[in-house]
Amino acid sequence: MNDTLIQIIGWIGTFLIVAAYFLVTYKKIDPAGRNYALMNLFGAIGIGINVFYHHAWPAVIMEIIWALIAISALVKITGKKI
């Protein structure tokens, strides 16, 4: 992948995580809801791709953990709906 695409992916990830935080803070979405978890998951993936590309290993680990928390929340949410 080229540098510009990596930067765009990272910025989209950053936007998703900040937007999720903003929306929860202002009670626009449910912090236990699917939208919040999805925004965090895709945000973590976007930032994770960027930091992996730049070999920022501590940040890679943080984004992996962030994504695993989001996946765990999605599994819990999905389990409640069935």
For the whole model, what pTM was predicted? Answer: 0.90
62: tokens are: 């943080």
Give the C-alpha separation, 51 to 79, whole Å. Answer: 32
**HEC assignment per residue over the chain:** CCHHHHHHHHHHHHHHHHHHHHHHHCCCCCCCCHHHHHHHHHHHHHHHHHHHHCCCHHHHHHHHHHHHHHHHHHHHHHHHHC
Q: What is the pLDDT of residues 7-65, one digit of tens each?
A: 999 999 999 999 999 999 999 999 999 999 999 999 999 999 999 999 999 999 999 99
